[in-house]
Chains A and B, each alone.
Chain A
Amino acid sequence: MSSEYKQVKRMTSTSRIIHWANAISMIVAIITGLYIGHPYYETLIADGAVDKYVMAWNRWGHFIVAIIFDVTSVVIAYLYFFSRFEKAYKKVIPTTKNIAEFFEVVLNLFTLNRRKKFDSTHMDSFNAVYFLIFHLLLAWMLFTGLQLYVGGLESGISSIGAWWPWLLHVATDWTIPVTGGTIMDVRIAHHYSMWFIVIWVVFHIYYQVWRTIFWKEGDIAIVIGGSKFVKEK
């Protein structure tokens, strides 16, 4: 039986590490972000204020995972175009072949795997586009989030120098007029986008599990072992 299957490498260890770093960061970002938006648990009133630092720790956690997201995003953006393993951008360019493949994958999902007319060995156009949407959402979160963050650095100085708040202003001030003109609009947009990311994640997990069950090619193993197994023709 095993001889009929061939192993296909799909993810490098770097991208797997980044995947899980992002997954954990996102969980932390949502838990702490919801607290920052509306503190949903209360500290014990009997403790002195010096003994607790609850909001500050939540914000610290939120910013730390945001910076992890920042750095992994830069790495992923680089790999998107220059990876020696798989250049994802090639699957997003709207060529006839990619568009056809995109719709074939959608049809496969909606015909409940009755129709499967594409090569599932390598990354398909549908997932490439779906991941691109995620990266755009994440970039949006980073820009709006950093705009909210730089509001606290009005002195123009920071622990790492004056270039940092300057860079943040140059890179993120555009989010204010784009979201509606006030800092509150940026905040609302940041909070809305969180929900879009949650929805994205829910479908992503469902779809990868569904593929594993219905395609019977071990897709779920890609993100852990880096490979899937395809029947040899």
Chain B
Amino acid sequence: MSERIEGVKKLFTSKSTRVETNRGESYYADLFEKCQARLKELRENGPINRLDFSEVLSENGVDRRDFMKWVSATTAMLMLPPMFSPLVAEAAELMNRAPVIWLELQDCAGNSEALLRSDGPKIDEIVLDIISLEFHETLQAASGFQAEKQLDDAIETFKGKYLLFVEGSIPMGMNGQFGTIGAGAETFYDHLMRVSKDAAAVIAVGSCATFGGVPAASPNPTGAVGVMDVVKGKPIINIPACPANPANMVGVVLHYVLTGQVPELDSLLRPKFAFGYRIHDNCERRAHFDAGEYVEEWGDEGAKNNFCLYKMGCKGPMTFNNCSIVRYNEAVNWPIGVGRGCIGCSEPDFWDKYAYERPMADAKIKAPTGGVEKSVDEFGLGLLTAAGIGIGIHAVASAVAGKKEDGGEA
């Protein structure tokens, strides 16, 4: 209960969830100057690693034209006017000035996988490749004491400047003993607290790091929580989804490199440029939703005609994410595009409350009485039946007793 009261307080003190797509000319002129100054400063500071962006691009077979196309799309995604395109391009080139430490906690490494995309990297992934990844437990060659030394060095060198990416939830059960890391068997919690202390900002990537995700699903045996539940007093940006879209990771880092600030966030600390709209609003099958044309079962005529997947449990109408616009793997495809519904992976508690692959009315969820799981309608009909039986008994009793009384009166 106290958690819910806290939630209400937070909502009333947080900024409105409104997405401002146009803030007026003077705002953008001002921002433009700030960004220019910031990029100039970064350029003078010099790169942290030896990777050259244009070389990496050409090595991967991406020409300038493709890159500029990507720049336009990314500028639009960040909800900036077209005049920012040159700055975004410059910021992408200066990404090797942003020191990043990546922690991997209780998860499946799916976000690292999304970041790497070893099979033919696209520009989003290339941009993420050239960031100065100072420490990444899963990817680096170092291990044991050597790895810890490297982490300490990175924290020391870039104190207060590095961006901390966190992937995976934090197990809080059994004093955090569900997950330990390194030669010293430091718990995930202690590890995160130590590294986040000197970070410029903490970016929680994927559903586990943001809201606990799958490890936090009922009955949550490890007591898993998200980063924002334990890290306090630092700017936190949540990039949920399972996995988080590399385009959104790039967007956040780019925004940071460009402006030196975190992007505007919603009440769940998700950047509004990516999580301001429901996927339903820009879904290519939306017309079928409005027309009442639904896939009734897998492989039926509706499925062949790309009908709406709402009755197959699509949670697009309740899920805030930009995957219907940016899609995955450089806009190749996304869940609805391949003919299966959204499972709401960018929302809190998605595994318990969104991912049951049937409409909410049919979902087996815990009835308010607890115990046996019932659908809302089953529970409601049960209550209605109980009320009906009660009324029936009273009606019959009234009819029988009432007649006797009448007889008495006569």
The chain A residues found within 8 Å of chain B, CB to CB, are 34, 37-39, 42-43, 45, 49-50, 52-56, 58, 109, 112-114, 151-152, 154-156, 162, 165-166, 169, 173-174, 176-178, 180-185, 187-188, 191-192, 194-196, 198-199, 202-203, 206, 210, 213-214
- Shortest beta-carbon distance, A221 to chain B, in Å? 20
Asked if A203 meets B302 with Cβ closer than 8 Å, knowing A38-B361, A154-B281, A174-B12, the reply is no
Which residues on the B side are within 8 Å of A182 (C-beta)? Answer: 347-349, 353-354
- Shortest beta-carbon distance, B116 to chain A, in Å? 31
Asked if A210 meets B18 with Cβ closer than 8 Å, knowing A151-B318, A187-B318, the reply is no
Q: How far is the CA of A38 from the CA of B363 in the complex (A)?
A: 11
Asked if A152 meets B380 with Cβ closer than 8 Å, knowing A55-B290, A187-B360, the reply is no
What residue of chain B has the Cβ atom nearest to residue A193's Cβ? B380
**B157-165, B332-340, B393-401: which lies at the interface:** B393-401
- Shortest beta-carbon distance, A47 to chain B, in Å? 9
Q: Does B407 interact with chain A (Cβ within 8 Å)?
A: no
Which residues on the A side are within 8 Å of B398 (C-beta)? Answer: 112-113, 210, 213-214
Asked if A174 meets B360 with Cβ closer than 8 Å, knowing A39-B294, A184-B353, A210-B395, the reply is no
Q: How far is the CA of A185 from the CA of B350 in the complex (A)?
A: 11
Nearest 9 A/B pairs, CB to CB: A177-B7, A54-B292, A195-B380, A156-B18, A37-B361, A56-B290, A38-B361, A49-B291, A184-B353
Which residues on the A side are within 8 Å of B289 (C-beta)? Answer: 55
Q: Are B391 and A43 in contact (CB under 8 A)?
A: no
Chain B's interface size range is: 35 or more
What residue of chain A has the Cβ atom nearest to residue B365's Cβ? A188
Q: Are A181 and B360 in contact (CB under 8 A)?
A: no
Q: Does B293 interact with chain A (Cβ within 8 Å)?
A: yes
Q: How far is the CA of A184 from the CA of B310 in the complex (A)?
A: 14
Q: Are A192 and B380 in contact (CB under 8 A)?
A: yes
**B25-33, B37-45, B54-62, B382-390: which lies at the interface:** B382-390
Q: Are A177 and B376 in contact (CB under 8 A)?
A: no
Asked if A154 meets B292 with Cβ closer than 8 Å, knowing A169-B17, A210-B398, the reply is no
- Shortest beta-carbon distance, A21 to chain B, in Å? 24
Which residues on the B side are within 8 Å of A152 (C-beta)? Answer: 278, 280-281
Q: Does B121 interact with chain A (Cβ within 8 Å)?
A: no
* Per-residue contact bits, chain B 286-310, to A (CB 8 Å; 1 contact, 0 not): 0111111110100001100100001
11 CB-based A-B contacts, threshold 8 Å: A43-B293, A112-B397, A151-B278, A156-B19, A162-B18, A169-B17, A180-B349, A183-B347, A185-B353, A191-B361, A191-B380
